[in-house]
Amino acid sequence: MPADKAHAVVIRAVPFGETSAVVTVFTRECGKLRALAKGAWRPKSAFDGALDLLSVCQVIVLRRSTDGLDLLIEAFLERRFRVATSLAAVHGGMYVAELLDALTADADPQPELFDAADTALLCLSGHEGPDALVWPAVVRFELAALRAAGQAPALGRCAECRAAVPATGRVAFGMLDGGVLCAACRSGRRAVVSVSAAALAVLRGLRTGSVERPIETPVLGELRAVMNTYVAHVLGRKSRLSPRLVPALPSRSLPTRDA
């Protein structure tokens, strides 16, 4: 079996026996790998605490040619995810791991997605500021993960006819159609919400990395409602973390459902 060295983020670790674990890592070089780490929880093991959830590490893996688990030989910790005062940041980090697992196939390298996850976790780890600073990092990673999965929402032009959508007022967003809809294509569509042009402008900015300051409260409510619902349609189920990714906001800040 060939041994591969890879840069990895730990997205799941399940106990196996008394001291071992079945670990899922998302690596920059090899994509998502599921491997058995023998003796992972033993004192002075070859993993040296590197297999904590959301840790970034260097791993050495023996790849199997069959459908069985790979074998994780060593892991060297580079950066541990630190829990500070922001519960939203912790939930955001766990959400990054959930999307990496749900939206990727095994052994499919996606270095740009790995870099996006690494950047998001670095921003969320140890966060002690206001929760408003957490959400841009979360939404930016959501958009990167959806783009890597071929499910990026259309934000500038109609998802159906590619016509330009208004830059002011409210715009129809079709969950089943994959993004914004013009007035002509909106008719008869199901699962459509009405989103403000301001919220769409922030989404476009986050997609290109041009939004760094905290998002205004009403706009944030719309973004989280739209992204939680859209991701649920892509996954075919609600995200386990979605109930934790809705800030306490006035009801008027949520998008208006058209149908």
Q: What is the pLDDT of residues 155-199, one digit of tens each?
A: 999 999 999 998 899 999 999 999 999 999 999 999 999 999 999
Tell whether the model's pLDDT for residue 256 goes beyond 60. Answer: no
190-194 contacts: CB < 8 A, separation 24 or more?
190/259, 191/233, 191/259, 192/257, 192/258, 192/259, 193/225, 193/226, 193/229, 193/255, 193/256, 193/257, 193/258, 194/170, 194/255, 194/256, 194/257, 194/258
Amino acid 140: pLDDT:
94
- 46, 52 contact by CB (below 8 A): no
**Listed residue (239, 34, 10) closest to 121, CA to CA:** 10
Regarding the domain delimited by 87-257, which CATH topology (the fold level of the hierarchy) does it fall under? de novo design (two linked rop proteins) (1.20.1440)
Q: What is the pLDDT of residues 50-106, one digit of tens each?
A: 999 999 999 999 998 777 899 999 999 999 999 999 999 999 999 999 999 999 999
Cα 131 to Cα 88: distance, rounded to the nearest angstrom: 6
CB atoms within 10 A of CB 235: 16
Domain boundaries, the chain: 3-79, 87-257
Per-residue pLDDT band for 113 (boundaries 50, 70, 90) equals very high
Cα 243 to Cα 239: distance, rounded to the nearest angstrom: 8
Q: What is the pLDDT of residues 211-229, one digit of tens each?
A: 666 788 889 889 999 999 9
Tell whether the model's pLDDT for residue 253 goes beyond 50. Answer: no
Cα 203 to Cα 143: distance, rounded to the nearest angstrom: 9
Q: What is the pLDDT of residues 126-143, one digit of tens each?
A: 999 888 889 999 999 999
What is the architecture of the domain spanning 3-79? Beta Barrel (2.40)
Cα 121 to Cα 119: distance, rounded to the nearest angstrom: 6
**The model scores a pTM over 0.75:** yes
Q: What is the pLDDT of residues 6-40, one digit of tens each?
A: 999 999 999 999 899 999 999 999 999 999 999 99
| Sign of the CA dihedral with 90 first, then 94, 97, and 99 last | negative
Amino acid 209: pLDDT:
77
Q: Alpha helix locations (H) across the chain? A: 87-102, 111-124, 134-148, 183-186, 197-208, 217-235
Which residue did the predictor score with more confidence, 254 or 243?
243
Tell whether the model's pLDDT for residue 252 goes beyond 50. Answer: no
Amino acid 251: pLDDT:
47
